[in-house]
Amino acid sequence: MSNYLKLSLLGAAVLAASTTLAQPPAREEGPRTPAPRLADGTVDLNGHGIWELPYITDFATRMVGAQKGDQPPMLPWSKALWEYNRSNDVKYDPEGFCLPPGGPRSMGTPYPAEFVQQEDRILIIFEGGGHVWREIHMDGREHPEDVNPTYFGHSVGRWEGDTLVIDTVGYNEKTWIDFNGHVHSDQMHTIERITRPFKEVLHYEATIEDPGAYSAPWTVAWDIEWTDGAELQDYICQENNIWLVELKDDLGHPFFEKMEAP
């Protein structure tokens, strides 16, 4: 088991701590009913319930059109850093420090999420990943010319029929793309497409374009299951993160200095 996720988590919200650990069994396909709609006819991306985000440990396994064993088109530096992250059991994964997942990774971190749709914006609220949310502007604005880099970047959205298209720039470099150690630069630009073909299913697709870390764009996709009537729980990663006090650097020294109480 990787040391990265030696966290004391709440209840059933315990993460698998290694990409070699067996994934939980797939949920049996239930009923498929029409997607709900708002009063104006727009697809309702939520309702009374939660989206059970899957645990996508390795985005390479979800690349559209890829064969088994294929990797994203990494540049030499990002490939070297990915190999380094793999060599130390991804112990420096920012999510292990309770930092936000950011980017598309937020949709592959295994805690539930909800959508809040308003006329001029859509919010996605995440139970885990640092207890965070992201805001998608739906009022027709453009990206700022000098965007301030953040974990989730600056997102603008639009509807193309029943597909929510989200264009995001302005990511900082403090996150990884996935648990497997794929990284990105602050040049990352994502286009996400979200549909709700049935009430019980959300289809998520993200194209990652990052000339600072990859030689070509690449796309990942997966489905997300709905749990009707459920609610988000109060989960605070920082509260019980014992991993931080046990973490050692590559030379075996404590990663953090232990301070004596005054």
User: Could you read off the pLDDT of 112-148 as tens digits, one per residue?
Assistant: 999 999 999 999 999 986 779 999 999 999 999 999 9
Q: Is residue 19 part of a domain?
A: no
Q: Is residue 15 part of a domain?
A: no
pLDDT band at residue 247, thresholds of 50, 70 and 90?
A: confident
pLDDT band at residue 245, thresholds of 50, 70 and 90?
A: confident
pTM (two decimals): 0.86
Over its C-alpha atoms, the chain yields an Rg (Å, rounded) of: 19
Higher-confidence residue of 255 and 242: namely: 255
Rama region for 128: left / alpha / beta (φ>0; ψ in -120 to 50; rest): beta
pLDDT band at residue 12, thresholds of 50, 70 and 90?
A: very low
**What residues make up the domain containing 184?**
34-232
Number of domains in the chain: 1
Q: Is residue 16 part of a domain?
A: no
Q: Is residue 11 part of a domain?
A: no
Residues 113, 235: Cα–Cα separation, whole Å: 12
In this prediction, residues 34-60 reach a mean pLDDT of 97
Q: Is residue 238 part of a domain?
A: no
Average pLDDT over all residues of the chain: 88
Which amino acid is located at 162 in the chain? D
Record the tokens describing residue 253, joined without a space. 């020294």
Going 133 to 94 to 223 to 79, the CA torsion angle's sign is positive
Q: Is residue 4 part of a domain?
A: no
Closest to 5 measured CA to CA, from 76, 70, 55? 55
β strands within 76-120, DSSP E? 113-117
Q: Is residue 249 part of a domain?
A: no
Residues 49, 139: Cα–Cα separation, whole Å: 26
pLDDT band at residue 235, thresholds of 50, 70 and 90?
A: confident
Higher-confidence residue of 79 and 19: namely: 79
Q: Is residue 169 part of a domain?
A: yes
